[in-house]
């Protein structure tokens, strides 16, 4: 395999990172097949907490860098770059820990990875060739997070608002917002910005044609 490219998509929780990355991925897979593109999520690298009780797990600050096993993500990105497949962990937001099963991710020429704290860690930044920051207004992120967490992540309105005030919003200002300086591209309005999606797709098509 020739030189491969790792594209990181960062930004606040519910800024549209996952929708943006999966739209780029799915539209290109439909067009070109899935052999040469892979997709990963930083959230899969939340630390395993199976040794803790559920009551202990809900006390974890999931917006702090210490909640992630970034060393494993760096290792996996290096393996993918070297042409080797990886076993990506699977994380449950409802159980707040990893599942026993992993997902096989095949080495690919272009690797997309999305997550809140990707651009905050120098070890990770060293692995990225292209960096994108989703610059969605924080009030819009909050509205989308409430809806998503109630519908998909088994939360109550009380738990979403308590977590937002205690960890999500402070971590945005301490870690995520300052990391925007490391982005090559800043995307406004969220995961349905089709012009930005088309620009990244065009870049990937160009890389795959080299």
Which range touches ligand LLZGTKA7 (CB under 6 A), out of 9-17, 69-77, 179-187, 190-198? 9-17
Residue 135 contacts by C-beta under 8 Å, 6 or more apart in sequence? 11, 15, 180, 186, 187, 188
Residue 5 contacts by C-beta under 8 Å, 6 or more apart in sequence? 109, 110, 111, 129, 130, 204, 207
At 97, phi and psi to the nearest 5? Answer: -160, 175
Which candidate, 104, 72, 64, 66, places its Cα nearest to that of 88?
104
Cβ atoms of 91 and 98 closer than 8 Å: yes
Q: Which of 29, 34, 93, 107 binds ligand LLZGTKA7 (CB under 6 A)?
A: 93
Binding status of residue 121 toward ligand LLZGTKA7 by CB under 6 A: no
Residue nearest to ligand LLZGTKA7 (CB): 13
- β 97-105/86-92 pair status: antiparallel
- Rg of the chain taking only CA atoms, in angstroms: 17
Tell me the CA distances in angstroms from 46 to 2, 26, 43, 86, 169, one per residue in order: 31, 24, 5, 16, 19
Strand, helix or coil for residue 13: coil
Residues that bind ligand ADP (CB under 6 A): 11, 13-19, 144, 148, 189-192
User: How many whole angstroms separate alpha carbon 98 and alpha carbon 35?
Assistant: 27
- Which of ligand LLZGTKA7, ligand ADP, none binds 172 (CB below 5-8 Å, type-dependent)? none
Q: Least distance to ligand LLZGTKA7 from the beta carbon of 93, Å?
A: 5
Residues between 42 and 71 with contacts to ligand LLZGTKA7, criterion CB under 6 A:
43, 46, 62-63
Nearer to ligand LLZGTKA7, 32 or 146 (CB): 146
Nearer to ligand LLZGTKA7, 63 or 135 (CB): 63
Q: Which of 13, 131, 136, 179 binds ligand LLZGTKA7 (CB under 6 A)?
A: 13
Which range touches ligand LLZGTKA7 (CB under 6 A), out of 10-18, 76-84, 102-110, 120-128? 10-18
Other residues' Cβ atoms within 10 Å of the Cβ of residue 98: 19
Binding status of residue 96 toward ligand LLZGTKA7 by CB under 6 A: yes
Binding status of residue 168 toward ligand LLZGTKA7 by CB under 6 A: yes
List of residues contacting ligand LLZGTKA7 (CB under 6 A): 13-14, 17-18, 43, 46, 62-63, 93, 96, 116, 163, 168
């Amino acid at each position: 395999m020739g030189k491969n490219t790792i594209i990181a998509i960062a930004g606040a929780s519910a800024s549209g990172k996952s929708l943006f990355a999966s739209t780029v991925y799915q539209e290109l897979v439909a067009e070109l097949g899935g052999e040469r593109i892979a997709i990963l999520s930083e959230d899969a690298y939340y630390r395993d907490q199976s040794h803790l009780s559920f009551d202990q797990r809900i006390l974890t600050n999931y917006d702090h860098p210490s909640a992630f096993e970034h060393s494993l993500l760096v290792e996996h990105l290096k393996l993918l770059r070297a042409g080797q497949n990886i076993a990506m962990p699977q994380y449950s937001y409802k159980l707040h820990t990893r599942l026993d099963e992993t997902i096989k991710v095949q080495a690919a020429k272009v690797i997309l990875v999305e997550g809140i704290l990707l651009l905050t860690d120098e070890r990770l930044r060293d692995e990225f060739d292209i960096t994108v920051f989703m610059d969605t207004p924080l009030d819009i992120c909050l509205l989308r997070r409430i809806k998503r967490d109630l519908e998909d992540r088994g939360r109550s309105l009380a738990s979403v608002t308590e977590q937002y005030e205690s960890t999500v919003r402070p971590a945005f200002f301490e870690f995520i917002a300052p990391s925007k300086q490391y982005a090559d591209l800043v995307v406004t309005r969220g995961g349905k910005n089709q012009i930005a999606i088309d620009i990244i797709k065009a870049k990937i098509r160009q890389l795959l044609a080299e």
